[in-house]
Amino acid sequence: MSGLMAGKRGLIMGLANDKSLAWGIAKQLSAHGAELAFTYQGEALAKRVKPLAEQLGSDFTFPCDVSDMDALDEAFATLKARWETIDFVVHAIGFSDKNELRGKYVDTSLDNFLMTMNISAYSLVAVANRASAMMPPLKGDGTGGGSILTLTYYGAEKVIPHYNVMGVAKAALETSVQYLANDLGPANIRVNAISAGPIKTLAASGIGDFRYILKWNELNSPLRRNVTIEDVGGAGLYLLSDLSSGVTGETHHVDAGYHVVGMKQEDAPDIALD
Ligand SMILES: NC(=O)c1ccc[n+]([C@@H]2O[C@H](COP(=O)([O-])OP(=O)(O)OC[C@H]3O[C@@H](n4cnc5c(N)ncnc54)[C@H](O)[C@@H]3O)[C@@H](O)[C@H]2O)c1
């Protein structure tokens, strides 16, 4: 493997298990020489996250619930106590009440709308605010700055059955990427999103008829397959490394090309909900 990320340190937020998109990205970063810290949402996840971090040579794990601003401050204080600076952050976090990830968007409750927007969209702003303060200042020779990456989904752009309020939150997240990129650009801090195709993870299992979405994408995407966390990891490595030094404010699709297709493929069979 290359030393593309050698000498770079960063924080991975949103690792739940070895199916997580964050795991696909973390593996690639580590293989290319990055040093990683990990947050986990609560103590229940610590027992899954710590052994995974160890596999990548990291003993630097600590809790962070992004809906709690004090917890976020504490997490970044923990990070800063050990590392003076960081070069990148991965924000792979989203949440909504699964009772509202089925049925109709028109039935969304105010409480769940606000919670979903808070955890799935605002948290990127809160993370970018604290992470950017820890990134090295831009120097005359062009060094300094950093890279921030979040994860989004096509349901922000087009209606996907059952994605509902999560689609609205992802639209806010993608627009936040643009505003954050503009605010932080003068400090050479880049902010980008990967719009990943559907992948079976813990979070995805909350979405109604997710198996149908998976099957539809497999049959109708240009590559005629679903993407893997390794596909997402490769794109994450690019966006977090200097290979993408001129790229910011971008939502980059890693979806086997699904977003360019306008209708069912001729060779795709009719499929039924099961
Ligand atoms: N799986 C897919 O099909 C898919 C597709 C496109 C985008 N995404 C996005 O990828 C990101 C990662 O999800 P995933 O699919 O890997 O599932 P996952 O369940 O492995 O990860 C979701 C993570 O969000 C964390 N989280 C939720 N609420 C939190 C809170 N209040 N504080 C801190 N952390 C919190 C969970 O602990 C978990 O680690 C999400 O933003 C998701 O919307 C997923």
pLDDT (tens digit, 9 = 90+) per residue, 61-99?
Answer: 999 999 999 999 999 999 999 999 999 999 999 999 999
Whether the predicted pLDDT of 273 surpasses 80:
no
Residues 182-187 have a mean pLDDT of 98
Edge-to-edge strand list for the sheet holding 189-196: 61-63, 35-40, 9-13, 88-91, 146-152, 189-196, 251-254
Q: Where are the alpha helices (DSSP H) in 150-268?
A: 164-184, 210-220, 229-240
pLDDT tens by residue, 125-150: 999 999 999 999 999 998 999 999 99
150 lines ligand 1 (CB under 6 A): no
Whether the predicted pLDDT of 40 surpasses 70:
yes
Q: Which pLDDT does position 272 carry in this prediction?
A: 78
Residue listed under structure tokens 């794109």: 235
Q: Which pLDDT does position 170 carry in this prediction?
A: 98
Q: Beta-carbon neighbour count of residue 109 at 10 Å?
A: 12
Q: Which of 40, 122, 163, 258 is catalytic?
A: 163
The average confidence (pLDDT) of the chain is: 97
Atom of ligand 1 lying closest to residue 196 CA: 6
Confidence of residue 2 (pLDDT cuts 50, 70, 90): confident
Residues 238-245 have a mean pLDDT of 98
Q: Which pLDDT does position 34 carry in this prediction?
A: 98
Looking at the domain assignment, is residue 242 inside a domain? yes
Confidence of residue 124 (pLDDT cuts 50, 70, 90): very high
Looking at the domain assignment, is residue 3 inside a domain? no
* Spatial CA neighbour of 208 closest among 104, 135, 64: 104
Q: When comparing pLDDT for 196 and 206, which is higher?
A: 196
173 lines ligand 1 (CB under 6 A): no
**With pLDDT > 90 as the criterion, what percentage of the chain qualifies?**
96
Q: Which pLDDT does position 74 carry in this prediction?
A: 98
Looking at the domain assignment, is residue 1 inside a domain? no
Whole-model pTM above 0.90?
Answer: yes
Q: Is 202 annotated as a binding residue?
A: yes
Whether the predicted pLDDT of 15 surpasses 80:
yes
Amino acid at 253: H
Residues 201-225 have a mean pLDDT of 94
**With pLDDT > 70 as the criterion, what percentage of the chain qualifies?**
99
CA of 91 to the centre of ligand 1 (A): 9
Looking at the domain assignment, is residue 272 inside a domain? no
Q: Is 114 annotated as a binding residue?
A: no
Q: Which residues pair with 24 in a beta bridge?
A: none
Q: Which of 153, 154, 238, 258 is catalytic?
A: 153
Q: Count structural domains, the chain.
A: 1
Distance of alpha carbon 129 from alpha carbon 112, whole angstroms: 24
Crossing angle for the helix pair 123-132 and 164-184, to the nearest 10 degrees: 20
- Full residue range of the structural domain in which residue 122 is found: 9-256
Whether the predicted pLDDT of 1 surpasses 70:
no
Is-catalytic flag, 105?
no
Is-catalytic flag, 238?
no
Looking at the domain assignment, is residue 16 inside a domain? yes
Q: Which pLDDT does position 270 carry in this prediction?
A: 86
CA of 134 to the centre of ligand 1 (A): 24
Residues 12-31 have a mean pLDDT of 98
204 lines ligand 1 (CB under 6 A): yes
CA of 162 to the centre of ligand 1 (A): 17
Residues 10-29 have a mean pLDDT of 98
Q: Which pLDDT does position 121 carry in this prediction?
A: 98
Q: Which pLDDT does position 274 carry in this prediction?
A: 61
Model ipTM over 0.95: yes
Looking at the domain assignment, is residue 46 inside a domain? yes
Cα torsion 116, 121, 126, 132 to 10°: value is 160
Looking at the domain assignment, is residue 31 inside a domain? yes
Query: CATH code at 145?
Result: 3.40.50.720
Looking at the domain assignment, is residue 171 inside a domain? yes
